[in-house]
Amino acid sequence: MKVEVEWKKVVKPSAPTPHHLRKLKLSSMDEPLPPHYTGIIFYYADNAENSGVDIVQRLHRMEESLSQILTIFYPLAGRYIEDGCFIDCNDHGVEFVHAKVDARIDRLLHGKPYPDLLDGLSRFPRELAGNPLVVIQANVFECGGLVIGLRMTHKIADMYSMAMFVSSWATACRGNTHEIVRPSFELSSIFPMKESSFATGSEPCVSDESSISPSKESSVATGPEPSISDEKLVTNRFRFDGKVISKLKSLAVADAPGSTADNSPPSRLEVVSALISTALVDIDHSKHGKLRPFVISMTMNLREKIGLAVPANSFGNFATVLYAQFGRAMADGSKLVFKEAVSVINEMLRKSRARYARVEEGEELSTMVKDSLTEFMEHATSSEKHFIAFSSWCRFPLYEIDFGWGRPTLVGLPPVSFRSVFLMDAEDNEGIDAWVTLKEDEMIPFKREAEIQASTS
């Protein structure tokens, strides 16, 4: 299966950005984040609903609507200025790539993910300085299927922001610009970086070691994401359907009315995360011959979860990282029990929501978020602990991304460079797709775990 680039171009906003909006400072939430590119891939199978739509017309309409939407999401057409930590909203544009794939899309929809192929479907720059903040690649298959790979730098946007952008773009592509909710770019005003960060000689913004501002814009090239592990990682998708999740919820509360502190039924997120956690603990126990301290992290979107006045449609990084250590749940030294894992994850989420809801000052919130990211790296680089990073993209309307030829058949991830579990809604919004990235010697036993085999497809 070969991916060949047919052409690439820079798409600029259809109208110039007003001079008073030319400079967008990073917020204190953006400051500690690395400039790596995060991504998502949308798969559109060729079917009776869209088979008559000419691919050239599709690409033209996508490009035209992208130019229109960039007047609303104008910072994305700018460039990151590392010296000063801001976005120069100079309308230099985003990269739009058209590629052809010499295969049928069914091979991707019904087969296992191939890292090299997925990288080819979603290219991105090796460094941020001087390059587009957004890279979009439209991949056309022999059968007429279309795969859209989107990459956006994490330095200025979280997944909520990325979903807001691509949803607005798809809406504009359908000609429904009146339905678009305009994003707010006020986070840097509400959570400003400290003036001391701009002192001469300081380096407040996290950057790649190789991120040196070039004298001219670099062309986009495929490159590996910076990794916190030297070992080879593999990614597989595991689908938990709605019926299985209902059974897991029942199992979590059976003979354990206090399995959640407020006696509410556990969520889809909690039971799926707990089942995956129990499998990973078993594998690690077998590998090391003992139960090591097990820690999970989980991202939490802060929009509408805090008492501070922050617009719900805020664009930027506005999330934090939560942690849970399964100490009491593994006190007997034998294994992690599913019900106990559900209880630990529920407690983590419940207490964290209450803690963040009590925050009254923006500086206090910024400190909490920064501390959570520091703790992430400490756990992720520790050889004494067994650590896995969970991230939930559930409830984002990713399966509603319709550019005018129907909703996606599948929404997935490009390769990820650290051990992680990304949870996303399945197409029916009842099930969950878990995109699990593990070391090669972990993935084989994980796929063979009885509970995983019985619960996934």
283 close to 315: Cβ distance less than 8 angstroms: no
390 close to 420: Cβ distance less than 8 angstroms: yes
Q: How far is CA 123 from CA 39, 135, 219, 225, 338, in A?
A: 10, 7, 11, 11, 39
402 part of the active site: yes
Q: How far is CA 8 from CA 38, 125, 137, in A?
A: 20, 14, 9
pLDDT at 229: 54
The CATH number of 3-198 is 3.30.559.10
pLDDT at 219: 39
Calpha distance 50→341 (Å, rounded): 45
CB atoms within 10 A of CB 402: 16
List the chain residues with pLDDT less than 70. 47-53, 111-113, 195-230, 255-263, 328-334
β partners of residue 240: 432
- pTM (2 d.p.): 0.89
pLDDT at 46: 79
pLDDT at 160: 96
pLDDT at 203: 45
Q: What is the pLDDT of residues 236-277, one digit of tens each?
A: 999 999 999 999 999 998 866 555 556 678 999 999 999 999
Catalytic residue, chosen from 154, 285, 379, 386, is 154
Closest to 315 (Cα-Cα) out of 72, 17, 129: 72
State the fold for domain 233-455: Chloramphenicol Acetyltransferase (3.30.559)
137 close to 36: Cβ distance less than 8 angstroms: no
98 part of the active site: no
Closest to 35 (Cα-Cα) out of 201, 156, 165, 161: 156
228 close to 437: Cβ distance less than 8 angstroms: no
Does this chain's domain 3-198 share its CATH topology with 233-455? Answer: yes
Calpha distance 248→331 (Å, rounded): 23
Query: Sign of dihedral through CA atoms 197, 202, 205, 206?
Result: negative
Q: What is the pLDDT of residues 166-203, one digit of tens each?
A: 999 999 999 999 999 899 999 999 999 986 554 433 34
Tokens for 141, please give them.
């298959």
Catalytic residue, chosen from 88, 106, 241, 402, is 402
pLDDT at 55: 86
pLDDT at 218: 37
Each domain of the chain, given as residue ranges in start order, spans 3-198, 233-455
